[in-house]
Amino acid sequence: MEVQYSSTRNSGKKITASQAILQGLSEDGGLFVPDHIPALSLSMRELADRNYQETAYEVMKLLLTDFTEEELKDCIARAYDSKFDTEEIAPLVEAEGAYYLELFHGATIAFKDMALSILPHLMITAAKKNHVDREIVILTATSGDTGKAALAGFAGVAGTKIIVFYPKNGVSPIQEKQMVTQKGDNTFVVGIHGNFDDAQTGVKQLFNDKELAGEMAACGLQFSSANSINIGRLVPQVVYYVYAYAKLLKEEKIADGEKINVVVPTGNFGNILAAFYAKNMGVPINKLICASNENKVLYDFFMTGEYDRNREFKLTSSPSMDILISSNLERMIYRIAGDDADQTGKLMKALSEQGVYHVTEEMKEGLSDFHGGFADEKETAERIRSLYEDTGYVLDTHTAVASAVYQKYAAETGDKTKTVIASTASPFKFTRSVMNAIDQKYDAMGDFELVDELSKIGNVKIPKAIEEIRTAPVLHDHVCDRTEMKAVVKQFLGME
Ligand SMILES: *Cc1c(COP(=O)(O)O)cnc(C)c1O
């Protein structure tokens, strides 16, 4: 049976994968979900002999069923090429008995590249398939990494424009520099006064603005989303969990069928949801360990069944996880509600109106694959230091949250299951926090001095993405209030 997609807030209407990718978010505010999760058609043994691109095809063809073999293979070839600095695309590195799945070897050295290097190609293909002749305007809110990865993916892609909003004081200096130096006439980067949730809420309002959509259509434009709510982001992320398992099997680190745990440093719940999909497609996964930083709304949710965003927002050293509204959780809610769109809609309404919702006991049972954990700033820094001192391997702050949570989990439960930790960013992206964690003395150094020092002590080459921004000129310096986002968008699109 071919997979089709429907909204988490209206299960009646079904659309194809390519339509879901084009639309991004459903008109009713819901997220598109596959009507069932297909099983892998090859065994793990067979997959063990496939490279990344071949694995990507085997996985994605099952979820993007209206793409032809030729279309999909073409998108994959364009995405996973020499933009990545290793042919493995997503290598596994063993340290202190855990396997770090390095998802940061793409153009912007964070895991967002895994999906955002292919999304523009999926979207252009989807537009052709659906005879869309309007120009696609990508509108995105970013907590730092999505923005640059989306800009890098869409820059210069004919038939597209991209607008990125980021919290002016909520991203790392390197992240900001990466974004504001972005080249390409079709790119536009704006800082907003506010945090990531403000940016994301503002973007959602623009997506749901019917009047704006009408005016854009009249100008031959239409919005689409590159945020992790787009199914075209989620599907490519399933691939590397399948790939990681197959590689562990190939290298005889695990036996065929042996279950593994997966730990994911989580913000918007996209990456860990992809792992959940991988499990449901047949990857032998035991626990999905959801690691949060001090913004531990998900940890509390897994503990109590109450999702409560009414709390202080904390700026941490892992800014891509500084999130109080994990958008992709809605897909999980829909599933544990038994694909009940009405109930999902009610809970999401409560979230937007009161900032809180509760799931029933029965729904909570549907979350038994997950374990929630969190690490505070001290534990995160301590993890970076101790792993570096014991092994020489340097983690970024996000991965360190996951690693610290894993240590606590293993100590609490005694679970000895082999474990893959999603390593979501290069330490070079968060150099200051990483180096300060290793030794406070580094705080006196400048940003790029720190980069050189990290390269020396960690014995790793400075990534191209960092070398490039050292001297690149700032091309974007717009800053606005949240209330001005609509005006800013219209101005950039030349609609005023
Ligand atoms: C985006 C991001 C995360 C969070 O991923 P989600 O899919 O939003 O849960 C974690 N780490 C890094 C480095 C990121 O860029």
Q: Is the CB of 186 under 6 A from ligand 1?
A: no
Q: Tens of pLDDT along 375-394?
A: 999 999 999 999 999 999 99
Strand spans (E) along 400-482? 419-423, 478-481
CB 402 within 8 A of CB 422: yes
Q: Tens of pLDDT along 253-287?
A: 999 999 999 999 999 999 999 999 999 999 999 99
Query: 472 to each of 111, 275, 415, 466, 469, how far by Cα in Å?
Result: 23, 36, 48, 10, 5
170 Cα to the center of ligand 1, angstroms? 14
Give residue for tokens 């997506």.
207
Q: Is the CB of 230 under 6 A from ligand 1?
A: no
421 Cα to the center of ligand 1, angstroms? 13
- b/e for 159-179, b at 16 or more Cβ within 10 A? ebbbbbbbbbebbbebbbbbb
Alpha-carbon gap, residue 30 to 337, rounded angstroms: 14
Instruction: Average the pLDDT over 446-454 and give the result.
Output: 94
CB 345 within 8 A of CB 361: no
pLDDT above 80 for 410: yes
Q: How many CB atoms lie within 10 A of CB 480?
A: 17
Structure tokens at 282: 């047949």
Q: Is the CB of 425 under 6 A from ligand 1?
A: yes
The reported pLDDT for the residue numbered 200 is 87
The helix/strand/coil state of 305 is coil
CB 199 within 8 A of CB 491: no
Q: Is the CB of 398 under 6 A from ligand 1?
A: yes
Alpha-carbon gap, residue 333 to 294, rounded angstroms: 23
456 Cα to the center of ligand 1, angstroms? 27
Structure tokens at 237: 């992320």
Q: Which long-range contacts (CB under 8 A, 24 or more apart) does 45-53 make?
A: 45/249, 45/256, 47/242, 47/243, 47/245, 47/246, 48/246, 48/247, 48/249, 48/250, 49/250, 50/246, 51/87, 52/80, 52/88, 52/89, 52/90, 52/239, 52/240, 52/243, 53/77, 53/80, 53/89
Structure tokens at 92: 């596994």
Give the H/E segment covering residue 62: helix 52-63
pLDDT above 90 for 224: no
328: DSSP letter:
T
Alpha-carbon gap, residue 72 to 61, rounded angstroms: 7
Q: Which of 112, 129, 177, 287 is catalytic?
A: 112
Instruction: Average the pLDDT over 455-461 and give the result.
Output: 95
Q: Is the CB of 147 under 6 A from ligand 1?
A: no
Closest C-alpha residue for ligand 1 atom 15: 145
When pLDDT is cut at 50, 70 and 90, the band that residue 327 belongs to is very high
Give the H/E segment covering residue 391: helix 377-391
Alpha-carbon gap, residue 463 to 427, rounded angstroms: 10
* Residues belonging to the chain: 496
pLDDT above 90 for 173: no
Q: Give catalytic status of residue 129 as yes or no.
A: no
User: Atom of ligand 1 at shortest distance to CA of 104?
Assistant: 13
What's the predicted TM-score (pTM) here? Answer: 0.93
Lowest-pLDDT range of 219-233, 373-387, 426-440: 219-233
Q: Is the CB of 266 under 6 A from ligand 1?
A: yes
Q: Is the CB of 429 under 6 A from ligand 1?
A: no
Q: Pocket of ligand 1, candidates 178, 268, 405, 426: which has the most ligand atoms within 8 Å of its Cβ, to mutate? A: 268
Q: Is the CB of 145 under 6 A from ligand 1?
A: yes
Alpha-carbon gap, residue 21 to 312, rounded angstroms: 34
Structure tokens at 268: 């918007």
The reported pLDDT for the residue numbered 27 is 85
User: Atom of ligand 1 at shortest distance to CA of 398?
Assistant: 11
The 3-state DSSP composition of the chain as helix, strand, coil percent (nearest 5) reads 50, 15, 35
DSSP states along 329-355: HHHHHHHHTTS-HHHHHHHHHHHHHTS
pLDDT above 80 for 183: yes
The reported pLDDT for the residue numbered 196 is 86
470 Cα to the center of ligand 1, angstroms? 24
The reported pLDDT for the residue numbered 8 is 98
Q: Pocket of ligand 1, candidates 143, 321, 396: which has the most ligand atoms within 8 Å of its Cβ, to mutate? A: 321
The reported pLDDT for the residue numbered 288 is 98
When pLDDT is cut at 50, 70 and 90, the band that residue 335 belongs to is very high
When pLDDT is cut at 50, 70 and 90, the band that residue 11 belongs to is confident
Structure tokens at 483: 């209330």
CB 359 within 8 A of CB 333: yes
Alpha-carbon gap, residue 342 to 9, rounded angstroms: 6
Alpha-carbon gap, residue 375 to 316, rounded angstroms: 11
Helices and strands (H, E) in the chain, number of each type: 22, 16
User: Atom of ligand 1 at shortest distance to CA of 429?
Assistant: 13
Tell me what percent of the residues of the chain surpass a pLDDT of 90.
88
pLDDT above 90 for 445: yes
Alpha helices in 254-376 (DSSP H): 270-281, 297-304, 329-336, 341-353, 361-365
Structure tokens at 213: 């959509």
225 Cα to the center of ligand 1, angstroms? 17
User: Atom of ligand 1 at shortest distance to CA of 274?
Assistant: 7
Instruction: Average the pLDDT over 443-452 and give the result.
Output: 93
Give residue for tokens 């052709």.
128
pLDDT above 90 for 157: no
pLDDT above 80 for 1: no
